[in-house]
Amino acid sequence: MLLLLPDARFAPVISVALFAEYRSVLLRPEHLLQRLPAQAEAFLDFLISVSHLQEIFYRWRPALPDANDDLILELAVAAGCRYIVTHNLRHFRGIEQWGIAAVTPRDFLNLISKKS
């Protein structure tokens, strides 16, 4: 999906907190593998350049079983997202009450290809 960016059919959203989380995770030695930290930083620069930076003014915590996932839900609600794209669908059970559906990357690609 990242290879499609930028794409007029969808716009990723990011918050300062989510960006900091992504950066922290991507720069861990076990995630860098054979890449240099500068490559991870370049990817993050690209991601933020194609994403909508969303401020979050209200916290919905606790809403989900994993508190780390609340960050994603709060961002999606604040940005008015229709979907949270994730492989961890079970982590986002119950988000329908906010008008948001959790979908896998494959299902999301199918959804946006039908709209083209």
pLDDT tens across 43-97, in order?
999 999 999 999 998 887 888 988 889 999 999 999 999 999 999 999 999 999 9
List, in order of start, the domains of the chain with CATH numbers.
2-114 (3.40.50)
Confidence bin at 2 (pLDDT 50/70/90): confident
pLDDT in tens, 3-44: 788 888 999 999 999 999 999 999 999 999 999 999 999 999
DSSP secondary structure letters along 41-73: HHHHHHHHHTSEE--------S-SSSHHHHHHH
Q: Are 61 and 70 in contact (CB under 8 A)?
A: yes
Tracing tokens 């329908």 back to the chain, one arrives at 96
